[in-house]
Structure 1
Amino acid sequence: MTDIDSVDLASSSTDGEDAHDAMRAQHALDRLAALHPKLIDLGLDRTFALLNRLGNPHHALPPTIHVSGTNGKGSVIAHMRAMAEGCGLRVHVYSSPHLCRFNERIRLAGTLISDGALADLLEEVENINGTDEVTFFEVTTAAAMLAFSQCEADLLLLETGLGGTLDSTNVLDRPLATIITPIARDHEHFLGNDVATIASQKAGIMRHNVPCFSAQQDNVVAQQLNAHAEEIGAKLFTASIDFNGYKAADGRIAITYSNTDLNDGAVTLPTPGLAGEHQVDNASLAATALIHALGTSRKLAPVKIVAGLGNAIWPGRIQKLDKGDLTTLMPDQSIWLDGAHNAHGAQALVAALPDLHDGQWTVICGALNTRDPAEFLAPISKIAGQVLTLTIPGQPASLTAGELAASATSIGLSASPARSIQDALTIADNNHPVIICGSLYLAGHILNENKTLPV
């Protein structure tokens, strides 16, 4: 069995042996992806069977906070990671999808897993699984669990891939806490075509007598979460009911508590490291959950826990491209990148942009054909001047630049297709800053083209 502590965990350049390890890892990922004809097939039987063959590593994980929801999962985890590491804790993170490299999904004690360690793990899991049918996410989740069990850490931040109840991450008997971020309609072909059904799936990560912290939700969603919590005996704490965060005049965030089981006073957070008004809610949710979890398990004071919030980093989420190959194409205007891809994400993005520039933006966007692009474009129209559309390279499910431009034009936007991101930045209106958005796959492509990969 691979001893994770004995290998270099840091992701590094792809020269020499590093290039060989990167190739080994990619070949293993390709072989494993071919074991099941469907990319997504929700269920836990195959995951539990594989984990059992691996020695049940999910029973040997550090204290874990499990996060579900539709929007904001990554931001909440980024806030918690920054705060926990600010306390000096070693933190594992499991998240998806990745933007540029698969390694981004597995962070071991603060560092992205190296190509060599990843290749070793995947090959071990592949050998144990044999030719049994298993989905890509199931086998990579099992590999991540194995890695987390073998590398010492104080905390694991675990993000669901899709849904909750039948998600491959939903294998823990008793996490330290669970979190449910805002729930909206998304992935209806897998989770259901109404928010009540989707909410019941997301609620499946709750556990008996384990605290669950929820963002403020629509009434239908809130009813589902409350009913499930009551049914299984989970302790549910909800934003705007049990706690409330708001932005103070000095840019910091104040959290007040109406539920004394959480706190009998107020907590002040530093200005978050992530941009956007919606990060007030995300940071308040993250801080409240972490204060409760670490205050209970490690007896840390709230002021100690929240100190690191300003250091949060989450690539592709209202991220300014400060340097890189693409920025040289438009040196007189700022270029921002965001992976928002659904209506809720677009609304949050549009609410955040006026704090960065109070005027029109040049919008460069690409989108998949899995949803009506008008749902995303309609909110964007409030800030859009020129709109340039892209076909996302390497994505068979991408709308073509022409199709997306036609959709944008149909709702009154001034849109035209571009051949590439370089072409778009060359013809962009130099009088306005640029926001690139519409898909996490596009965000990953942009970071690759800019040569500023996540670390």
Structure 2
Amino acid sequence: MRDFAVSDDPRVQAQLDRLGALSLPQGRFGLETIRELLARLGDPQTRLPPAFHVAGTNGKGSVCAFLRAMLEAGGLAVHVAAKPHLVRYNERIRLAGKLVSDDMLADLLAEVLDVGEDLGPSFFEVTTAATFLAFARVTADVCVIEVGLGGRFDATNVLERPAACGIASLGMDHEAFLLRPEEGTPSDPIARIAFEKAGIVHPGSPLVTQGYPLAAELEIERAALVAGAPLHMRGKDWHATAGDALEYRDRHGSLTLPLPNLPGAHQADNAALAVAMLRHQDFVAVSPQAMARGIREACWPARLQRLRSGPLADLAGKRDVWLDGGHNPDAGQAIARHFAGRRMHLVVGMLANKAPGAIVEPLRDAARSVQAVPVPSHDSHPAEAFGPEARARADVARALSALPDDGIPVLIAGSLYLAGEVLEANDEIPN
């Protein structure tokens, strides 16, 4: 499974095999295990550089990419904890700008797995502990840490006094986990999602958010008030609009910034949140010039990424080949806005536990054809789940080869696992 990945390095592979044997015990929620695991490792989370902690349903990875690019443009060394990896597990741990080496990764995983063997930790708890251990041992100026799932019970939520916490867009995803029945939690679905994401709030740490439906806003306001965290919400405390440029303003003043080079109108919103997080904290200084450069230079693979010429993309002939790992309704709407008024061929593969209409329905008017492919090593939806017009193909290569010679762009979408397979097959492994 790509969750655990494979490695050409035998020492890394030995530890990945151990990771692959881990699972989250059914019904276990909480931070007790990760806290005990970190305590046995000397509590590295207490020795990190200033940290930016980002949650959200969609966009949190892009916000982290913009934060990293802006901070690095300002001359700072940045650690990044990203999720999930697309091809190599190393993508999850970036140390002062570079992916963790195989030698260091093998040692980190072995150390964490050995010390926590009797705790029965999960894949995510071991990964987080290894990440924080690396961050504490390698010198950097700042950390950017992406939440994995939810926020309240995510393994990363052991940070002490982050420089700033951010919440990107909210929507429905991972309902079985985030909407599970629990006494004392909101009954309204979007409010419950907000409740879980706002669980990353910390006393004294600024909480910076997008604007949301009223039920979600009220839940986030309550969480910030209870925690004693300064709240800075879009539409109330900061404002941003995107036209020919990104116009941003808050109590500190106004900025005119470039639009992102990352495709998709929603990326301006993600860039704006990153700007707001930097402007509502006091740990590091980033100039408007560095913010502008970071917005232009930020890179985030498999999010409306146009593939380069390569072994896989060239099978589609002389046409643009786009790749997106989005798999929920909000992602589908964002992709649809990008292709608004344009025709495209859709190659879709989705895990069986995701709603098949999330991507197909928003794109139905734009899609000239729909081809369904399996997601390797995972249970995935058959072609009929995507509608009567969908045609089954054995893999992405066969789907691209079957396209008519019409020059119309093609979009490969529906799963980050599938996106990782595509990038590897096209020799575009993230670095």
**Same-fold status (TM-score > 0.5):** yes
257, 265, 281: which one aligns with 1:269: 257
Q: What is the match of residue 425 of structure 2?
A: 449
* 1:322 and 2:317 correspond: no
Kindly tell me: are residues 41 and 443 of structure 1, through their superposed partners in 2, closer, same or farther at Cα, counting changes over 3 Å?
A: farther
Mapping for residues 10-29 of structure 1, pairs under 5 Å: 19=8, 22-29=9-16
How far 1:109 sits from its partner (Å)?
Answer: 0.6
Q: Deviations over 1:298-340 (max 9, x none)?
A: 4443334333221000000010111211122123101010111
Match of 1:385 among 368, 386, 399: 368
Task: State which of 71, 79, 87 in structure 2 corresponds to 1:84.
Answer: 71
Q: Structure 1 CA distance, aligned partners of 2:23 and 2:362?
A: 38
- TM, length-normalised to structure 1: 0.88
Q: Which aligned pairs between 1:159-308 and structure 2 lie closer than 5 A?
A: 159-192=146-179, 194-249=189-244, 252-257=245-250, 260=251, 263=252, 265-293=253-281, 296-308=282-294
Aligned residue type for 2:165: T
- Matched residue of 2:376: which SS? coil
CA distance in 2, matches of 1:180, 1:192: 18
Matched length: 417
Mean CA deviation greater in 112-121 or 320-329: 320-329
Q: What CA deviation, in whole Å up to 9, does each residue of 1:130-176 have, x standing for no partner?
A: 33311111011100000000011111001111111111000012000
1:345 to 331, 335, 340: 331
1:38-57 aligned at under 5 Å gives the runs: 38=25, 41-57=28-44
**Take 1:240 and 1:94, find their aligned partners in 2: how far apart are those partners?**
29
Conserved in 2, the CA contact under 8 Å of 1:51 and 1:57?
A: yes
Q: Does 1:407 align with 2:390?
A: no
The TM-score normalised by the length of structure 2 is 0.93
Partner of 2:398: 423
- The match for 1:5 is none
Q: CA deviation at 1:234?
A: 1.2
Task: Give yes or no for contact 1:195–1:220 (8 Å, CA) kept in 2.
Answer: yes
The CA distance in 2 between the partners of 1:53 and 1:98, in whole Å, is 26
The 1:39/1:160 distance shift into structure 2, 3 A limit, reads: farther
Task: State the 4+ residue runs in structure 1 displaced beyond 6 angstroms.
Answer: none
Report whether the alignment pairs 1:335 with 2:321.
yes
Q: Mind listing any 5+ residue stretches in structure 1 that lack a counterpart?
A: 1-13
Aligned amino acid, residue 279 of structure 1: Q
Q: Distance in 2 between matches of 1:169 and 1:40?
A: 19
Q: Are the equivalent residues in 2 in contact too, given 1:39–1:136 (CA < 8 A)?
A: no
What is the CA–CA distance in structure 1 between the aligned matches of 2:363 and 2:30, rounded to whole Å? 36
Cα distance in structure 2, aligned partners of 1:300 and 1:365: 40
Alignment CA distance shift 1:376-1:300 (3 Å): closer
What's the CA shift for 1:273? 2.5
Q: Residues 214 and 69 from structure 1, CA distance in 2 versus in 1: closer, same or farther, beyond 3 angstroms?
A: same
CA contact (8 A) 1:33 1:135 kept: no
Give the Cα–Cα distance (whole angstroms) in 1 for the partners of residues 290 and 427 of structure 2: 36
Residues 1:103 and 2:86 are matched in the alignment = no
The CA distance in 1 between the partners of 2:29 and 2:85, in whole Å, is: 20
Q: What pairs with 1:106-125 in structure 2 (closer than 5 Å)? A: 106-125=93-112
Change (3 A) 1:148 1:323: same
Q: Distance in 1 between matches of 2:104 and 2:26?
A: 24
CA distance in 1, matches of 2:372, 2:28: 32
Q: Which AA in structure 1 matches 2:316?
A: M
What SS does structure 1 have at the residue aligned with 2:256? strand
Q: Does the Cα contact within 8 Å between 1:163 and 1:191 map onto a contact in 2?
A: yes
SS at match of 2:119: coil
Equivalent AA in structure 2 for residue 416 of structure 1: R
Cα root mean square deviation, aligned: 1.8
Give 3-state SS (helix, strand or coil) of 1:152's partner: coil
CA contact 2:24–2:121 (8 Å) conserved in 1: no
Q: Could you tell me which amino acid in structure 2 is paired with residue 73 of structure 1? A: K
Report the CA distance shift for 1:140/1:40 in structure 2 as closer, same or farther (over 3 A): farther
In the TM superposition, residue 38 of structure 1 has moved relative to its aligned partner by 4.1
Aligned with 1:297: secondary structure?
coil
Offset at residue 39 of structure 1 (A): 8.6
> CA contact under 8 A between 1:362 and 1:429: conserved in structure 2?
no
- For structure 2, the residue ranges without an aligned partner over 5 or more in a row are 1-5, 181-188
